[in-house]
Chains A and B, each alone.
Chain A
Amino acid sequence: MMAAFSVARSSSGLINGLRTSLKCFVPVKHGAVAAAAAAPQKKLLRDCRWYSAGHPSVKERIDKKRRAALVGGGQHRIDAQHKRGKLTARERVELLLDPDSFVETDMFVEHRCSDFGMEQDRNKFPGDSVVTGSGRINGRLVYVFSQDFTVFGGSLSGAHAQKICKIMDQAMTVGAPVIGLNDSGGARIQEGVESLAGYADIFLRNVMASGVVPQISMIMGPCAGGAVYSPALTDFTFMVKDTSYLFITGPDVVKSVTNEDVTQEQLGGAKTHTTVSGVAHHAFENDVDALLNLREFFNFLPLSNRDPAPIRECHDPSDRAVLSLDTIVPDESTKAYDMLDIIQSIVDERDFFEIMPNYAKNIVVGFARMNGRTIGIVGNQPKVASGCLDINSSVKGARFVRFCDAFNIPIITFVDVPGFLPGTAQEYGGIIRHGAKLLYAFAEATVPKITIITRKAYGGAYDVMSSKHLRGDVNYAWPTAEVAVMGAKGAVQIIFRGKENQAEAEAEYVEKFANPFPAAVRGFVDDIIEPSSTRKRICRDLEVLASKQQVNPWKKHANIPL
């Protein structure tokens, strides 16, 4: 928590700047919101600093406060925000939501700090440093908070936290997702423990809402210290390239503690978190790109755990044969192919929203639609590390599977896995308990589960990947499937140890096991299907499984191996 202070320190410097900025307070058009408060009010605004002057009526005071709220920290700060390549909190909300759908709450809330001169009027901003409310994305309800960097650097005051908690509480009772647009310097240092309490209040709600309504964090500026744990607790964390940072402690503290020289970008930029740490699920080019993509992403999600996966109107025929799949798996079992090719050609309109595309690339996860219905896809990626399961890919897969299960999204699993990755790095890193997470996630999931074995399904990894034994509803094999304990070479070395003609033994093993029959005759796969018919089969199965009912035994909560 130490770090929060160090980061937020910079925001106290902002107060001085604000004095001047408020004086020359002239509304400048910055999109339609500002337009609402345009020119005619100019006269009123000139003396808005002194609320008591001339005893204005209540109505006038309401108008004045509303207008003040709309410009946040003032035009200077807005310009500075734009100069950084960032949009303001309100511009972001406006772009994210359907036109005119935003209903704001707590526009009049102000911070309650009375220390360090904070009680003065010029340090009070209607709405404080966050904009909250509800609105619609493509007609569907959503709750939003958007931190306002122009007010005290978006720092979190007690009032700021209270505003966020209020909409989260309502989102839970109504059953609608919460989107947080994070752009905050950290804790409001002037408020001390009040601010820390505010964080905890939010954390608690993040946890309570987890699995009840989808929670999405879009990091659009700094987010440091204790603040990072709110995004970390939400279902998805997205970042904006070059302008957003997530870290526990900034580069200065890192330098003083561990003597490492590191830039903000290296330490906690979008690239770091989407490729190295796995903290963020996607990075976008800039604010506009991020918000437009967020709208698209939102379309995939149900509003809450009480709702089924949404079904959108679909133009792609559900019985479309995908001829290219008949030749996609190479003849040589050692040769790679791109699992994304399979996924894209099977789903509706080749539209696949990949989650964590640059992290643990040996597993592919993401959302798509089949005949209009949202589905979650998990697939081994033979192109990267032969599609093996290792620590990172297991954790990536497990978290995704659990999200889908929590929100009634059917899971389609494409299997081409040679096994778990061997080696000391993996064993010391705890592949056993991390691999168990993926196993656990698939096993406990009660949503419709459809599995397609495209090629290798070896060893324990076969069991893990949504196998029949883990209550897979429909398990298919392509003719190229090989379900076995291990590859031919390894198996032969054990079974036929010391035998002269290893090649012959290998051929025998291949003939026996390197095909879908051993699994099919035991009913471990339900059918061997022509690859080109995969789309048709899945669409049909999803239709049937839509009414699937399955309940796990009562428990306080399960104990996943964390």
Chain B
Amino acid sequence: MAAHWLSPSLNRLLFGLKNASFQYRCCAVHSKAQYSTVYNSSEKTFDKILIANRGEIACRVIKTCKKMGIQTVAVHSDVDSSAVHVKMADEALCVGPAPTSKSYLNMDAIMEAVRVTGAQAVHPGYGFLSENKEFAKRLAADGVAFIGPDTHAIQAMGDKIESKLIAKAAKVNTIPGYDGVVKTAEEAVKIAQEIGYPVMIKASAGGGGKGMRIAWNDEETREGFRFSSQEAASSFGDDRLLIEKYIDNPRHIEIQVLADKHGNALWLNERECSIQRRNQKVVEEAPSTFLDSVTRQAMGEQAVQLAKAVQYSSAGTVEFLVDSTKNFYFLEMNTRLQVEHPITECITGLDLVEQMIRVAKGYRLQHKQEDIPINGWAIESRVYAEDPYKSFGLPSIGRLSQYQEPVNLSNVRVDSGIQEGSDISIYYDPMISKLVTYGATRLEALSRMEEALDNYVIRGVTHNIPLLREIITHPRFISGDISTNFLPEVYPDGFKGHQLGKENCRELLASAAAIHITAQLRSQKVLGNLRVSSTPMECSNWEMCVELGDGCYSMEVTKSGNVYTVEVDGGVVEVKGEWNLASPLLPLTINGTQRMLQCLSRDSSGNIVLQYLGTSFKVRVLTKLAAALNSFMPEKIPEDTSSILRSPMPGTVVAVSVKPGDTVAEGQEICVIEAMKMQNSLTAVKQAKVKSVHCRQGETVGEGDLLVELE
């Protein structure tokens, strides 16, 4: 399987320089990450490390390896052959085809890659084989260091049932629940009734929200049992489930621990990860607004107790649920580097990957508990290729036709493993990047985040920046009043994008009109000697109409130099800018306030899509005449969608529950689509007879593909 990276591709052959310049760019991505600890180059660790992962985390690890002078080996699937992590690494090997089970989870191929390249250690990143004790065992047998904890710690903490028992024994607070494996749905119902609703059903081997369901009654327990076991089987190859008391309105706060092989362990403060959707984290921060130093210390000490109890080494995370009265319960321990580790790095100044590598080599921890500071505040937003308007985020795929990270801003760190031109495919996690901002205070970090999100250029895939920006500017979030139910509570009817106030609406309309007029004026600027002279319109004020949603606003626009003055909807807006029509970013000064807008598209019939305050708004700018004439244009009747079920996302059809001729009730499951390892049940919106079925089990479908037609 592990064909060695065949002859440097022609690409490389022809452009030796290209890679050099490319690597420079990659480094630039991280150049803002400041670590206060200085790397000690006399401390010898490994000569060569293989990174058994992809995407941003592979790039993140390679970055530190480069700093430490360690050679790096990337592994990749065939579709990832030109991925960023492959280009960054000194060597790269293909370990199989696109599906993760055949490549990044393919232990044989990865072991072979280790052997072929002579790597002395393997960093597993997160996900994939990072918490796979079998993998760690096989590496140990070959005398290769696993950059992570020992096998028995992985095993003990990887199993949720066992980890709970160990935690109890180590005097760590735990949640009431059933300490055993649940085998059938009926047994699940019985146990759930004993514990008392609500309960949580989760995969014994799981993590990251996969294979996890909450049930409020017997019916939901049965359904949850079915879904969770299926998801657990497909994600972890282990369908064992367990059930525990579900704590309502909790906060998710976790403690980063770092331990060496000599019995020393530290807690590196907490991260608050309460903003979640479907049990997956979206926005994280360190420290938490909720913890006082007493609670923090108590949690930290319990986390260290647990780490010591399993002779933990390397970096790990102890997750707690914290209720409104600051009672905290042990949730699970992640025996790996977490996705959200950068925020801990920001406030402590430690390079966690560097520490993991040191510890794996057998060095003692450099720091004492009292050396661990909380410097300032860090926030992380997970930028995903997903549509936030569909259940807070359903995966989207596509090619990043334009991509620009806001790394020119200070105090911004972007961890990503993609670049302009990269494909976001259905095979892997749809994360685009982790956008981290930090500042002396939380407010500073938050305002920088706002700016960074506005300056982030992503084209070609749907992304969740609208949602991220709404979260970090929401009064409840700003005041720190959050829980894991934040999203469903704040957006009970689903996320609908930024709701424009009157003032903001005027700003948007004025900006759109100004862009349109700029483009129109530019069309008159024909250069060169003209045989037939041109007679451009000498005009500096216009009567325009702008359509936004169902509204149509008439306005008067006056231009003077770079400034447009727009009278609209009973107010006057002054918009000033450079008006570069080629740039994706549109820095404007609107009524004296600096705003970063983005022009997502603009066409000749006046349609303009602007990203404003994070959300994209579709407007149509017409001259007064065109608007008047447009009123004669007939409405085109859109397709009736209630009888048609289309795939809301690209994915694989796992099950089709109906056949033509069946009668379905409203809400009845029609089929199940799996995308990015999440199973989504699609239901009927009305009672009807099934007219035709257009999909088959196992088939791959694209977003918007017709699945089932009802009568």
Chain A interface (Cβ < 8 Å from any Cβ of B) = 31-32, 82, 85-87, 91, 94-95, 98-99, 101, 136, 138-141, 174-176, 242, 285-289, 292-293, 295-296, 299, 303-304, 306-308, 310-317, 323-328, 331, 341, 344-345, 348-349, 372, 479-480, 515, 528, 530
Contacts and interface: CB of A to CB of B under 8 A. Distances in A.
A31 B628 contact: yes
The secondary-structure label for the interface of chain B is loop
7 contacts: A138-B536, A286-B633, A287-B629, A295-B604, A323-B419, A331-B82, A530-B15
A331 B634 contact: no
| Nearest 4 CB-CB pairings of A with B | A324-B421, A296-B604, A316-B582, A313-B525
Given A313-B522, A313-B525, A91 B399 contact: no
A325 B399 CA distance: 11
Contacts of B630: 288
A174 to B, nearest CB: 7
B20 interface: no
Given A87-B632, A530-B18, A139 B535 contact: yes
Contact of B525 (A87, A98, A174, A312): A312
B531 A306 contact: yes
B526 A312 contact: yes
Given A296-B604, A312-B522, A341-B401, A141 B633 contact: no
Contact of B604 (A85, A91, A292, A307): A292
Given A303-B532, A341-B401, A349-B581, A286 B14 contact: no
A286 B524 CA distance: 25
B625 A95 contact: yes
Contact of A323 (B78, B420, B532): B420
Interface string B401-432: 11100000000000000011110000000000
Nearest to B421: A324
Nearest to A91: B629
Interface string B522-548: 111111101110111100000000000
Nearest to A323: B420
Nearest to A316: B582
B531 A307 contact: yes
A466 to B, nearest CB: 23
B400 interface: yes
A289 B422 contact: no
Contact of B583 (A32, A86, A315): A315
Contact of B626 (A288, A303, A310): A288
Nearest to B11: A479
Contacts of A312: 522-523, 525-527
A160 to B, nearest CB: 24
B526 A139 contact: yes
Contacts of A311: 526-528
A292 B605 contact: yes
Nearest to B628: A31
Given A174-B532, A315-B582, A372 B400 contact: no
B523 A299 contact: yes
Nearest to A92: B629
A310 B526 contact: yes
A139 B536 contact: yes
B606 interface: yes
A292 B531 contact: no
Most buried by A among B583, B626, B629: B629
Given A31-B628, A296-B603, A328-B421, 6 more contacts: A140-B526, A288-B630, A310-B526, A324-B403, A344-B401, A530-B18
Interface string B2-43: 000000001100110010000000000000000000000000
B591 interface: no
B634 A85 contact: yes
Interface residues of B, number: 50
A34 B367 CA distance: 85
Contacts of A286: 633-634
Contact of A139 (B14, B537, B581): B537
B636 interface: yes
Contacts of A307: 530-532
A325 B421 contact: yes
Nearest to A303: B532
A450 to B, nearest CB: 20
Given A308-B528, A479-B10, A136 B535 contact: yes
A293 B605 contact: yes
Contacts of B629: 31, 87, 91, 95, 287-288
Contacts of A327: 82, 421-422
Contacts of A295: 523, 604
B248 to A, nearest CB: 47
B562 interface: no
Contact of A315 (B580, B628, B632): B580
A405 B536 CA distance: 28
Most buried by B among A286, A311, A372: A286
B626 A176 contact: no
A368 B401 CA distance: 18
A324 B400 contact: yes
A32 B622 CA distance: 16
B81 interface: yes
Contacts of B632: 82, 85-87, 287
A393 B18 CA distance: 36
Contact of A31 (B522, B528, B536, B625): B625
Contact of B605 (A288, A310, A479): A288
Contact of A98 (B522, B537, B604, B626): B537
B582 A349 contact: yes
Contacts of B401: 324, 341, 344-345
A511 B13 CA distance: 14
B417 to A, nearest CB: 13
A86 B583 CA distance: 37
A293 B604 contact: yes
Interface in B533-575: 534-537
B10 A515 contact: yes
Contacts of A288: 605, 622, 626, 629-630, 633
Given A312-B522, A528-B14, A175 B531 contact: yes
Given A286-B633, A303-B532, A530-B15, A292 B626 contact: yes
B528 A479 contact: no
A209 B15 CA distance: 50
Contacts of B400: 324
Nearest to A299: B523
Contact of A285 (B402, B419, B420, B636): B636
Contacts of B625: 31-32, 94-95, 99
A13 B60 CA distance: 78
Interface string B611-653: 0000000000010011011101110100000000000000000
Contacts of B525: 312-313
A306 B530 CA distance: 10
Contacts of B531: 175, 303-304, 306-307
Nearest to B580: A315
Contacts of A289: 605, 633
B526 A323 contact: no
A286 to B, nearest CB: 4
Contacts of A308: 528
B153 to A, nearest CB: 40
A324 B583 CA distance: 16
A348 B605 contact: no
Contacts of A174: 532
Nearest to B528: A311
A176 B533 CA distance: 11
Given A286-B633, A479-B11, A530-B18, A95 B626 contact: yes
Interface string B597-608: 000000111100
Contacts of A139: 524, 526, 534-537
Contact of B535 (A101, A296, A325, A530): A101
Contacts of A293: 604-605
A221 B434 CA distance: 54
A138 B421 contact: no
